[in-house]
Chain A
């Protein structure tokens, strides 16, 4: 069973997710950032679902394992859609939307096929293995796509403060999550590293909430100031 620290992090994360949805409704931006809101609504629903299954079946039960991995794969898929929606916002004015959607679907199918090919080689627990592998690979694809999107933002001279900060927060989240995941793999004797992943997950809704609350849709920044090394 999770300890008190894990419980606190869970409450904190859920509170920040709720705060983002409430803030975007209050700032009349719910439909403008629809997929971001869908991601957090799903995260909250799954979070309560996990608690419900955990209290009913226990930490080591097959029910909890299945529920956890399947909801995690669905959440990663929702985050992938949120990222593609950000691509649409950035490239929207260039009329790339149709090609973007086709490319996004092809990339998703490619990732799913690759995950299946990896899992098909092992015979045990094919379905949970696939959910886990797909989730992991989509995270990696997400990190690469966020990096590319950030490059495009710099190249196109994007000035919308909200878009810039939302994309950067997402980049921070993906990088920090990947780092914490790797840390768990080679330093799992330190119990503190197990809390890094959930803690990092709290930061994404927090920074997005601050962005939505602090800046209006009309807020603009000077793109030249975003370049780390002045040219």
Chain B
């Protein structure tokens, strides 16, 4: 009984720290100014919306991965899936959760678009360096 209680409490704190960790990852990339190139590729006019996440991830798969972005993208990807599941299940009963989850998913999309932007810039630099050689 005690083990089940400890397990439940640890799961709650784990979820809380995980959400905060993902938010800190997203906050760290929030000051990034999106380039015109990434706006053209993704079709984003002003700010990324929740729907842009899938598109950004598909484009990221075409782009050679930057190792420093890998762990963050995985964590935010998992967070996005949890939010998606929340929207399809609990959020139907609690409507206020719906808008919160949508806002969070937009944050995930923004993180993925910034990663894509960095990836494009990184590859452009690599090509330029190869050209110089």
Residue A145 lies at the interface, judged by CB distance under 8 Å to chain B:
no
Q: Does A175 contact B20, Cβ atoms closer than 8 Å?
A: no
**Chain A residue contacts of B10, Cβ below 8 A:** 143, 175-176, 178-179, 182
**Chain B residue contacts of A206, Cβ below 8 A:** 71
Q: Does B30 contact A147, Cβ atoms closer than 8 Å?
A: no
For residue A208, give the distance in angstroms from its CB to the closest CB of chain B: 11
Residue B50 lies at the interface, judged by CB distance under 8 Å to chain A:
no
**Chain A residue contacts of B17, Cβ below 8 A:** 150, 168, 171-172, 175
- Which of A87-95, A103-111, A211-219 lies at the interface with chain B? A211-219
Query: Which residues of A from 180 to 231 have beta carbons under 8 Å from B?
Result: 181-183, 185-186, 206-207, 210, 213-215, 219, 221-222, 225-226, 228-229
Query: Which residues of B from 1 to 54 have beta carbons under 8 Å from A?
Result: 3-4, 6-7, 9-11, 13-14, 16-21, 23-28, 30-31
**Chain B residue contacts of A182, Cβ below 8 A:** 3-4, 6-7, 10
Q: Does B6 contact A150, Cβ atoms closer than 8 Å?
A: no
Given contacts A161-B28, A175-B14, A179-B14, contact A210 B68 (CB under 8 A): yes
Query: Which residues of A from 2 to 55 have beta carbons under 8 Å from B?
Result: none
Interface of chain A: mostly helix, strand, loop or mixed:
helix
**Chain B residue contacts of A207, Cβ below 8 A:** 21, 71
**Chain B residue contacts of A179, Cβ below 8 A:** 6-7, 10-11, 14
With both beta carbons as reference points, the residue of chain B lying nearest to A180 in the complex is identified as B10
**Chain A residue contacts of B31, Cβ below 8 A:** 222
Residue A85 lies at the interface, judged by CB distance under 8 Å to chain B:
no
Question: A225: which of B13, B14, B30 is its contact (CB, 8 Å)?
Answer: B30
Bound complex: CA A179 to CA B9 (Å): 8
**Chain A residue contacts of B9, Cβ below 8 A:** 178
List chain B positions with a Cβ less than 8 A from chain A: 3-4, 6-7, 9-11, 13-14, 16-21, 23-28, 30-31, 68, 71-72, 100
